[in-house]
Amino acid sequence: MTVSKSIPCVCKNRHQYYKSSHCPTCPVCEEQRKPVAGFAALLAAPARRALENAGIRTLQQLAQKNEADILTLHGMGPSSIPKLREALKSAGLVFNKK
């Protein structure tokens, strides 16, 4: 059994935290930028970042993509798709079928 050591880190905003991986994401900064409304608020942070990194910030932009393309994004998991489908449906939109 391997024991992962926590590494002390400091982000660009000077938050101090410990990580057991080399992921540069600061948990304090991530919590502060978590949306409180909109479809992105339904998603976990990795899925939210995956959409942001792909340039998808609105439901209209999301509706231009198909589910398979969204699932290929790093950080997007299958449990996010039903949440995204529901958000699209509530706006009268659907994923692109192509």
Q: 0.85 exceeded by the pTM?
A: no
The CATH architecture assigned to 36-98 reads: Orthogonal Bundle (1.10)
**Residue 1, pLDDT above cutoff 60:** no
How many degrees, rounded to 5, is the angle at CA 72 between CA 64 and CA 75? Answer: 105
Question: What are all long-range contacts of 25-33, with beta carbons under 8 Å and residues at least 24 apart?
Answer: 25/49
At position 32, the amino acid (one-letter code) is Q
**Residue 21, pLDDT above cutoff 80:** no
Q: Where do we find the tokens 């942001």?
A: 52
Q: Percentage of the chain with pLDDT > 70?
A: 95
Which tops the pLDDT comparison, 72 or 20?
72
Question: What are all long-range contacts of 48-56, with beta carbons under 8 Å and residues at least 24 apart?
Answer: 49/25, 49/75, 50/74, 50/75, 50/76, 51/76
pLDDT in the model for residue 27: 79
The ranges of the chain annotated as CATH 1.10.150.20 are 36-98
